Amino acid sequence: MDEVKVIEIKKSVFADNDEDASKLRKELKDKGVYLLNLMSSPGAGKTTTLIGTLQRIKDKLRVAVMEADIDSDVDAVKIRKATGIPSIQLHTGGMCHLDAEMTRQGLDNVALSEVDLVILENVGNLVCPAEFDTGAVRNAMILSVPEGDDKPLKYPLMFSVCDLVLVNKVDVMPYFDFDLDKCREYVRMRNPKARIIPICAKTGEGLDDFADWLLAEVKAWKQN
Amino acid sequence: MDEVKVIEIKKSVFADNDEDASKLRKELKDKGVYLLNLMSSPGAGKTTTLIGTLQRIKDKLRVAVMEADIDSDVDAVKIRKATGIPSIQLHTGGMCHLDAEMTRQGLDNVALSEVDLVILENVGNLVCPAEFDTGAVRNAMILSVPEGDDKPLKYPLMFSVCDLVLVNKVDVMPYFDFDLDKCREYVRMRNPKARIIPICAKTGEGLDDFADWLLAEVKAWKQN
């Protein structure tokens, strides 16, 4: 039960990642599979957020999770243990991001005919993952309160490419100088259309909203 | 007073960064300048830690600070305002790390004959900066409590290359599942000789220890 598949990802050989990503997105569309690319800093709470959210959607959607990390399989094991959802670990061999071909290598190990939604938990990094289209339908990111409300000023590309920003650990807001209104303003500077959902993965606050967003997204992707 | 110099760093042309870094380290040694490379995730508290530490050492050492970021100059302005210490902002043009040549471009804007210590605040990123020797005498990093005690398992290279690990935001330890003993154990798995100092940049806890470490390091570098 605790054993999870660990895939060693190889460096891509494709020169044109954008083209490859579009191709992958089309293949997934044909198979009726929605891919979400979830990014954040190290320790922002991607895995805990996923666990709470998966528990809310697993009776409504068939889901698989791919956990990308430079090393270790702690996240894939955690997800599998807490939710029972198929979860594989992708080792990037020191690489700081995933591109479309690396994502495809992971997807080759997922039974795509048996899932509606694959969530890719990207490497914890606010810089490089933003530069590479993975082939996902949407990019989402988690900004955690202890990181500070000024992150959209410092990591502009990450906030520009994300359609959804989850502001996590709102329970500790009283202990940090974090201004949610200011944060919203900075996020909107980078991406005026971004949806922002304050959450607390630990208590479950806001996870219903994230789950509803996911359900609506997958439904629309399968219908259109 | 609030104006700080912003340097746009260009991509390096040197193929052998290790060789270039050794050369830069030797040049700095000849000039009696100690360079510290400070790394962390986004929002771990590099700038706040620096402000508290600079206030403790600025009467004993001549210091300059280089703040590397993809965008914005908020950190350099903060340092200058709070400490009066010469501080320049390096814009990496989207690059996720600094190498030796990029560091040199920053140092070209520092009056090296007038300083004993230059602190380079690297781009907030636990992956890529660890792969590039900047020419610094030592690498130090900040791991903040909200990120979790498992980070040495997930970002092994960063912890391997750092001689000093500052564990920041220990004041919020009661609100997070962070085991300091476990953290020490994981850090030592990566680097048995690493010095670990628990700090709270906000309250100043532990910053005397960091300041003492810096003073001893610079003294040894100038004497040997």
How close, in Å, is residue B35 to chain A by CA atoms?
24
Q: Which residues contact B175 (CB under 8 A, 6 or more apart)?
A: A171, A172, A175
Which residue in the set B69, B74, B151 is minimally distant from A42, CB to CB? B151
- Please, which residues bridge with residue A198 across strands? A167
DSSP A139-174: EEEEEEGGG-TTHHHH-HHHHHH-SEEEEE-GGGGG
Q: What is the pLDDT of residue A192?
A: 95
A59: exposed, middle or buried (Cβ count in 10 Å: 0-12, 13-18, 19+): exposed
Which residue in the set B43, B123, B127 is minimally distant from A70, CB to CB? B127
A59-89, pLDDT tens digit by residue?
999 999 999 988 778 888 899 999 999 999 9
B188-218, pLDDT tens digit by residue?
999 999 999 999 999 999 999 999 999 999 9
Nearest to A40, CA basis, from A181, A183, A151? A151
CA gap A82, A67 in Å, rounded = 14
B18-42, pLDDT tens digit by residue?
999 999 999 999 999 999 999 999 9
How close, in Å, is residue A220 to chain B by CA atoms?
34
**Cβ separation of A131 and B94 shorter than 8 Å?**
yes
CA gap A56, A211 in Å, rounded = 6
**Confidence tier at B152 by pLDDT (50, 70, 90):** very high
**CB < 8 Å to A96, chain B:** 96, 125, 127-128
CA gap B163, A173 in Å, rounded = 32
**Cβ separation of B127 and A123 shorter than 8 Å?**
yes
A5-49, pLDDT tens digit by residue?
777 777 666 679 999 999 999 999 999 999 999 999 999 999 999
**Cβ separation of A154 and B70 shorter than 8 Å?**
yes
Check which CATH number belongs to the domain holding A65 and give it. Answer: 3.40.50.300
Q: Which domain holds residue B191?
A: 5-223
A110-120, pLDDT tens digit by residue?
999 999 999 99
**Cβ separation of A126 and B125 shorter than 8 Å?**
yes
How close, in Å, is residue A4 to chain B by CA atoms?
16
Cβ A162 vs Cβ A39: under 8 Å: yes
Q: How many domains does chain B have?
A: 1
Q: How confident is the model over B160-186, as a mean pLDDT?
A: 96
Q: What is the pLDDT of residue B12?
A: 64
Tell me which DSSP letter residue B144 carries.
E
Show the tokens assigned to B111. Answer: 């009056």
CA gap B35, A36 in Å, rounded = 42
Q: What is the pLDDT of residue A1?
A: 39
**Cβ separation of A156 and B96 shorter than 8 Å?**
no
What is the value of pTM for the model shown?
0.89
How close, in Å, is residue A1 to chain B by CA atoms?
21
Cβ A165 vs Cβ A141: under 8 Å: yes
Longest dimension (CA), chain B: 48
Cβ B121 vs Cβ B66: under 8 Å: yes
Q: What is the pLDDT of residue A177?
A: 87
Q: Residue B23: in which H helix or E strand, if any?
A: helix B17-31
A159-172, pLDDT tens digit by residue?
999 999 999 999 99
Q: Residue A183: in which H helix or E strand, if any?
A: helix A180-190
CA gap A114, A134 in Å, rounded = 21
CA gap B141, B116 in Å, rounded = 21
- Under 8 Å CB pairs connecting chains A and B tally to 111
pLDDT at B114 > cutoff 70: yes
CA gap B89, A50 in Å, rounded = 37
Q: What is the pLDDT of residue B73?
A: 83
**Cβ separation of B125 and A171 shorter than 8 Å?**
no
